[in-house]
Structure 1
Amino acid sequence: MASVSLRLADHAYDVLIGPGVRTSLAGVVRRLGAERAVVVSARPEEWVPDTGVETLLVPARDGERDKTLGTVGELCAAFVRFGLSRSDVVVSCGGGTTTDVVGLAAALYHRGVRVVHLPTSLLAQVDAAVGGKTAVNLPQGKNLVGAYWQPSAVLCDTDYLTTLPPRELLNGYGEIARCHFIGAPDLRGLPLADQIAASVRLKARVVEADERDSGLRHILNYGHTLGHALEKATDYALRHGEAVAVGTVFAGRLAGALGRIGEARVAEHLDVVRSYGLPTAVPAETATETLIELMRHDKKAFGSLAFALDGPDGAELVTDVPRDVVAAVLEGMPRAPLADLVATATATATVLAGAVPS
């Protein structure tokens, strides 16, 4: 088991990583002094460990379509009916969309109730459940309504990963791949648990330095600006990690076009993403202008096109990127039919899933 501490000025918690760590939940709840818990789970009941206190189990569904303010409202209403107080605790059990929605509901209910995350997908374990960002989608774009609400603990049980559909495993590798360009460059070839721990350590150090996206934390969005646009443009047929992978290749090309990095470093973006078996092409059906318009609505755009990009001093947020440069780089990206990208991702994911220890 690995343990990563995240220490902020007014809050601290640990992220536990390894097989069986979900059984730590009752001890966490006991330390918090909660008398009641609501567990919101997108997984079967038998996946949810005992909380040690009176518990309401609320079924949920992973997926972008339920990542809405309506779902948050339904959860808060269930908290009221159960009589959940500010001294109690909410627990999420599911993928990244579930930890996002439950985290936001916890942040809003009674202006804040404690939350513990049990992320069950690779993407949620390496990224979504750690760091305190919670958000839901609007029709206009991803993650446009949210709050910062740090959990009280995160339990990344790697046993959960053996139960994932193969493509969900590949989805998580998109977040691991982008770590190569923001401070964790040597993760390829490591055992999966070590990759998770390294990704969490990187994120913890960044969040400790910049909890609320005033500067350094923008690097965690590497590949995400185009990635979010691709998700929306394909009606989420491309999964988050797959879209971030394509966005990472694009980020390398855009940094090259702006003269921030040389050709070798641009090529390294493609090589790293390919090494994880992730897609590298933009769906042929997505128009350049549509993607640019979606990227303009990104939450860090500040009224202009903005991207986390590599450079001589490492990754940083670059604002006011010229629209014509973005368009030219997008037009130069490799293209493939969406159906082909999905089929290739599914086939690659099946091979990857077979390599995860059971």
Structure 2
Amino acid sequence: MTTPATTTTPPTVAPRRIDVSLPGRGYPVHIGPGVRHSLPEVVAAIGARRVAVVSARPPEWTPDPGVPSLVVPARDGERNKTLAWVGELCSRFAEFGLGRSDAVVSCGGGTTTDAVGLAAALYHRGVPVIHLPTSLLAQVDASVGGKTAVNLPQGKNLVGAYWQPSAVLCDTDYLQTLPPREHVNGLGEIARCHFIGAGDLRGLPLHEQIAASVALKASVVAADERDAGPRHLLNYGHTLGHALERATDFALRHGEAVAVGTVFAGRLAGALGRIGPARVTEHTAVVEGYGLPARLPADADVAALIALMRLDKKATDGLTFVLDGPRGAELVQDVPEQVVADALDAMPREPVARA
């Protein structure tokens, strides 16, 4: 891990603030270089006397919350997103004496914000949580919106709760520490925004792409906090994406899998007559334009992928996808399995990078 002295971006970009508005409440998302240093102000604003900081980053990248604190080391990664880890976190909170008037802070990638958010939702039936997402994937998606969850052997994110944070601090200095593949991985969620209302973000400075993605998600969450309708749009590319993560034992990372799922969503929408060939091709062009994978893993088994997609959280009546169409993206239920299988069979393939 590189040190702040060599990677911190000069604060030439003014921080942006985007508000997530919910009935009777809401919270800010701050985006820009150095915003992690405002953590003490955020902690003071919510009146927390003590804080448990769960951090997957080294001490020099874990900001001081400005009040007595417990630092719990964590590790990013889907394999660490378990109920056992949530239980351990709650035990650590209790040993520290964390009360309902205190707060929890997550500092890490999307798997850390997911697990820590769930622990905060469960401990004392809910304590405030502040997210400091440190990966691009977490900044554009996972940390915003209040979805918390952990995995079961049967599938991703099957145990969770809705627990909105008190604030989100998306410090773009953290992004300078990411390995190249992890940076590209984060672009998968930005690429899918192209097809759910964000417009063409290609060519914009990265901080503007992050802000546009967060603003889109904030508007969707404000309209549908608990997945009753419009929020399903945020799962564009995720039905196949989650299945690919499981099928490759997470060798294909989340953003990469969503990127392939986005290309497939275009192909499936085309096969169903919802969009024309040009729009199908646009899906591949956008995904590849971000340097993301657009092909199925070479060894992907179609039957196994379909079996995994049946376990998708959105599925209520057969296979369910968010698909583009004449009225824009929408949830489409009971998609014939044979159509899905044929579209998968027609996808080009390539080996998965295992590094």
Secondary structure in 2 aligned to 1:264? helix
Secondary structure in 1 aligned to 2:273? coil
2:255 matches 1:241: yes
Residue in 2 that maps onto 1:321: 335
Secondary structure in 1 aligned to 2:132? strand
Residue in 1 that maps onto 2:186: 172
Secondary structure in 1 aligned to 2:319? coil
2:133 matches 1:122: no
Secondary structure in 2 aligned to 1:259? coil
- State the Cα distance separating 1:302 from its structure 2 match: 1.2
Whether the 8 Å contact between 2:317 and 2:333 is mirrored in structure 1 is no
Residue in 1 that maps onto 2:287: 273
Residue of structure 2 aligned with 1:286, choices 300, 305, 310: 300
Secondary structure in 2 aligned to 1:183? coil
| Identity percentage of aligned residues | 73
Whether the 8 Å contact between 1:296 and 1:303 is mirrored in structure 2 is no
- State the Cα distance separating 1:202 from its structure 2 match: 0.3
- State the Cα distance separating 1:144 from its structure 2 match: 0.6
Residue in 1 that maps onto 2:228: 214
Deviations 1:86-129 (A, max 9, x none): 11000000000000000000001011000000000000000000
Tell me which amino acid in the other structure corresponds to 2:145: G
Tell me which amino acid in the other structure corresponds to 1:270: T
Secondary structure in 2 aligned to 1:185? coil
Residue of structure 2 aligned with 1:113, choices 111, 115, 127: 127
Whether the 8 Å contact between 1:101 and 1:135 is mirrored in structure 2 is yes
TM-score, scaled to structure 2: 0.95
Residue in 2 that maps onto 1:151: 165
Secondary structure in 1 aligned to 2:174? helix
2:110 matches 1:96: yes
- State the Cα distance separating 1:165 from its structure 2 match: 1.4
List gaps (5 residues or longer) in structure 2: 1-14
Residue in 2 that maps onto 1:4: 18
Residue in 1 that maps onto 2:27: 13
Residue in 1 that maps onto 2:309: 295
- State the Cα distance separating 1:303 from its structure 2 match: 4.2
- Return the alpha-carbon distance in structure 2 between the equivalents of residues 10 and 328 of structure 1: 47
Q: How many residues align?
A: 341
- State the Cα distance separating 1:304 from its structure 2 match: 1.4
More helix, by proportion: 1
Deviations 1:44-87 (A, max 9, x none): 01111111110000000000000000100000000000000111
Whether the 8 Å contact between 1:120 and 1:161 is mirrored in structure 2 is yes
Whether the 8 Å contact between 1:37 and 1:51 is mirrored in structure 2 is yes
Residue in 2 that maps onto 1:27: 41
TM-score, scaled to structure 1: 0.94
Whether the 8 Å contact between 1:254 and 1:326 is mirrored in structure 2 is yes
Secondary structure in 1 aligned to 2:86? helix
Residue in 2 that maps onto 1:75: 89
Residue in 2 that maps onto 1:58: 72
Tell me which amino acid in the other structure corresponds to 1:317: L
Secondary structure in 1 aligned to 2:331? strand
Residue of structure 1 aligned with 2:349, choices 329, 335, 349: 335
- Return the alpha-carbon distance in structure 2 between the equivalents of residues 168 and 93 of structure 1: 16
List gaps (5 residues or longer) in structure 1: 347-358
- State the Cα distance separating 1:8 from its structure 2 match: 0.2
Residue of structure 2 aligned with 1:310, choices 276, 299, 324: 324
**How well do the aligned residues superpose, as a CA RMSD in angstroms?**
0.8
Tell me which amino acid in the other structure corresponds to 2:237: G
Residue in 2 that maps onto 1:134: 148
Secondary structure in 2 aligned to 1:29? helix
Tell me which amino acid in the other structure corresponds to 2:96: F
